[in-house]
């Protein structure tokens, strides 16, 4: 039997990231109320958002066929209005599969146009192909509620959208930043230089709350800052070891970063991340 969801009610309380509740990793799923219109749904390590309006719901990444069934049931606990739109945050299968349940009720699917080349090159029977695409920064509205979709170019893949909610001073950011160390070492399709550029652009945005796709419901802007600093610090350290003639296989064992060791996944993710940074230097990226 599925666990009973814990719905966190109340208005958004902004503050320092250290004051925000940590994710309970033992939960199978959870729906959290961020504001009167904005909610986030968590299922087995992956988080999305949905927006409730007077004319229906705007949902994001269905995650998987199994997750989408729970997701749809959780939306129904909040409102009996239909899901009108599903917007993909980016192209990766751990986020975008399973949308058929929403398509069957008439939802329109939307992504950035660059996602299509990935979807068509790597077809998956559990993927609903977008009905419509956008090409750049786009305001989105339904039932008197509005927010912004921002495209920052190539970074984590080539079609990632940042969801900006000025009313809540919040963003939904899939994968570019998390509350921990996870998420970069072995991924094949991210550009390090453009990734860092995107993080700097996000830092310049006006927000206090980050809802990340692989972390707690509430994190501060410092999660973005720490991700950038971590990448820059390790890139520089690996570069110095390569210049000193240290074999790539020995670099991870020589490096230690006390300022980051408290981050979730530090021990397990550091060797793969160091290897990727070594490849970055050696290939001239």
Number of neighbouring beta carbons within 10 Å of residue 189: 12
Segments forming the whole domain that contains residue 152: 17-227
Residue at 270 is within a domain: no
CA atoms of 91 and 115, how far apart (whole Å):
5
pLDDT at position 269: 87
- Averaged pLDDT in 10-residue chunks for the chain of 285 residues: 31 32 68 98 94 98 97 98 98 96 98 96 95 95 97 93 98 88 70 92 97 92 93 94 94 92 87 88 77
Number of neighbouring beta carbons within 10 Å of residue 155: 26
User: Which H or E run includes 238?
Assistant: helix 222-243
Residue at 248 is within a domain: no
CA atoms of 220 and 122, how far apart (whole Å):
35
Residue at 3 is within a domain: no
Q: Does residue 58 contact residue 87 with C-beta atoms inside 8 Å?
A: yes
Placement of tokens 């790539």 in the chain: 248
pLDDT at position 284: 72
Number of neighbouring beta carbons within 10 Å of residue 223: 21
Residue at 252 is within a domain: no
Best CA proximity match to 187, nearest among 124, 62, 58, 275: 275
Kindly report the pTM of this predicted structure: 0.88
Q: Does residue 274 contact residue 235 with C-beta atoms inside 8 Å?
A: no
pLDDT at position 16: 27
Residue at 265 is within a domain: no
Angle at 212 between CA 207 and CA 215, to 5 degrees: 130
Residue at 161 is within a domain: yes
pLDDT at position 285: 64
Domain count, the chain: 1
CA atoms of 163 and 205, how far apart (whole Å):
12
pLDDT at position 4: 31
What phi, psi does 171 have (nearest 5°)? -130, 150
Domain of 36: which CATH number?
A: 3.60.15.10
pLDDT at position 276: 87
pLDDT at position 180: 73
Residue at 178 is within a domain: yes
Residue at 281 is within a domain: no
């Amino acid at each position: 039997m599925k666990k009973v969801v814990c719905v966190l009610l109340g208005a958004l309380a902004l503050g320092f990231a250290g004051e925000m509740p940590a994710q309970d990793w033992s939960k199978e799923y959870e729906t959290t109320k961020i504001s009167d219109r904005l909610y986030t749904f968590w299922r087995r390590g992956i988080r999305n958002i949905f927006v409730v309006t007077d004319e229906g719901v705007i949902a994001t990444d269905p995650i998987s066929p199994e997750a989408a069934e729970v997701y749809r049931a959780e939306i129904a606990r909040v409102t009996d209005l239909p899901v009108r739109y599903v917007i993909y945050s980016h192209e990766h299968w751990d986020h975008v599969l399973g949308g058929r349940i929403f398509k069957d009720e008439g939802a329109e699917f939307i992504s950035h146009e660059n996602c299509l080349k990935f979807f068509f090159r790597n077809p998956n029977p559990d993927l609903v192909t977008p009905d419509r695409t956008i090409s750049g920064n786009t305001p989105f509205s339904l039932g008197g509620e509005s927010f912004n979709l921002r495209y920052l170019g190539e970074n984590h893949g080539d079609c990632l959208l940042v969801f900006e909610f000025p009313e809540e001073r919040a963003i939904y950011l899939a994968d570019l930043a998390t509350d921990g160390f996870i998420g970069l070492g072995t991924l094949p399709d991210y550009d390090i230089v453009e990734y860092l550029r995107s993080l700097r652009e996000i830092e310049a945005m006006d927000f206090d709350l980050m809802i990340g796709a692989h972390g707690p419901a509430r994190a501060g802007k410092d999660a973005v800052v720490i991700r950038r600093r971590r990448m820059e610090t390790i890139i520089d350290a690996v570069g110095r070891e390569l210049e000193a003639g240290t074999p790539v296989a020995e670099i991870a064992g020589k490096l230690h970063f006390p300022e980051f060791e408290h981050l979730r996944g530090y021990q397990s993710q550091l060797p793969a991340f160091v290897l990727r940074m070594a490849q970055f230097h050696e290939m001239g990226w």
